[in-house]
Structure 1
Amino acid sequence: MIRAINSNDELKLLVPIIQKANLTVASEFNLTIQNAPTNPAFITEFYFFEGMEQKKHQYFGYFVDQKIVGCLAIRLISEKSYGIDRLAVLPEFRHQGFGEMLIQHVENHIKSLGGKKILIGIIFENKLLLNWYLKLRFILTGTKKFDHLPFTVGFMEKNI
């Protein structure tokens, strides 16, 4: 079951899920808190709450037996465009379609808000993730190498 997460108690549960889900990618691409401090693998409760993370994002959780096993956040970018951030599925629950169901759920939610486009940024070198988004009908619109990051950012979008 997928539903919005609004209470601080449930939002606190997302921090270790986001960390654990992203640590596998951080490890694969040799990301550390020193070379990629904004990577979700290194998110903290302080950043999440004091950094107003929850105020600019609307979170959704995927629940299995009343336990959150995955999440996704959306944020308004412009009148008709929304960004997707913090997609995370615990490693032991991957490859069961939960991530795709989270994407489909927020697509429908964004449509209900009048949104027409979804934007994402990914680690371009993560070809598994790139191909997964391509399968979901996102298109690659460009890449950029930032001096402060040890990877190239791939920019993708999808008209809905």
Structure 2
Amino acid sequence: MIIDVTPERYSECLEVLRSGFATEVADFGITRDNTPSNPAFWSDDAAAAVVAKGFQLFAVEDEGRIVGCAFVGPSKSRPSVWSLRHLAVDPAIRHAGHGAALVAEGARRARAAGAEALAIGIVAENTRLSDWYRRLGFESIDKTRYPGLVFTVERMRLPFEAI
């Protein structure tokens, strides 16, 4: 079941974000020093900070427990494109459709707000994740190596006319 996450449940989402992103941290050399903004290293107030920037926090709840979560909201530079950010699923129960449900919900919310597409940015070296997003209909826009990051960022987009 998809739910809106209220502030009293932010800590549950933070647990999922920290554990969900921990696998990427281990696989791609991401540390608190080289990428402090990675959700694996977020402080307790980080979820509230993203919501304060205009993003909606929603989650997959299973038997009363949050098992996956994501943020969605309008892009500052292009209001017709919404951003899906920090999607994570508890690693113990991945591959059960929870991630796809979060993407679908993010797309639904963006479309309902009048957006034409949903955008994401991922670690480009994580080809398994990139392939997964492609299977969901996302297209690769570009890959950029930003100064200070130990990975390349792949920007992807899900055009709503394609779904």
Deviations 1:102-135, CA, capped at 9 Å, x for gaps:
1112211211111111111000000000000110
For 1:38, what is the secondary structure of its paired residue?
coil
Aligned residues: 157
Q: 1:48 corresponds to which residue? A: 47
- Kindly indicate whether residue 159 of structure 2 is the aligned counterpart of residue 159 of structure 1: yes
- How far apart, CA to CA, are the structure 2 residues paired with 1:31 and 1:130? 18
Q: 2:73 corresponds to which residue? A: 75
Q: 2:99 corresponds to which residue? A: 99
User: What letter matches 1:8 in structure 2?
Assistant: P
- How far apart, CA to CA, are the structure 2 residues paired with 1:46 and 1:68? 18
- Tell me the TM-score normalised to structure 1 length: 0.94
Q: CA deviation at 1:12?
A: 2.4
For 2:37, what is the secondary structure of its paired residue?
coil
Q: CA deviation at 1:63?
A: 0.4
User: What letter matches 2:147 in structure 1?
Assistant: D
RMSD: 1.1
Q: 2:58 corresponds to which residue? A: 60
Mapping for residues 1-160 of structure 1, pairs under 5 Å: 1-5=1-5, 7-49=6-48, 52-56=49-53, 57-77=55-75, 78-160=78-160
- How far apart, CA to CA, are the structure 1 residues paired with 2:147 and 2:19? 26
Please identify, of 101-110 and 83-92, the stretch whose mean Cα deviation from structure 2 is larger. 101-110
Deviations 1:73-122, CA, capped at 9 Å, x for gaps:
10211321100001000001101111001111221121111111111100
Deviations 1:29-63, CA, capped at 9 Å, x for gaps:
121101111111111113333xx222122011100
Residues 47 and 3 of structure 1, relative CA distance in 2, 3 Å threshold: closer
User: What letter matches 1:119 in structure 2?
Assistant: A
User: What letter matches 1:42 in structure 2?
Assistant: F
Unpaired segments ≥5 residues, structure 1: none
- How far apart, CA to CA, are the structure 2 residues paired with 1:71 and 1:28? 21
- How far apart, CA to CA, are the structure 2 residues paired with 1:106 and 1:151? 25
Percent identity (aligned): 27
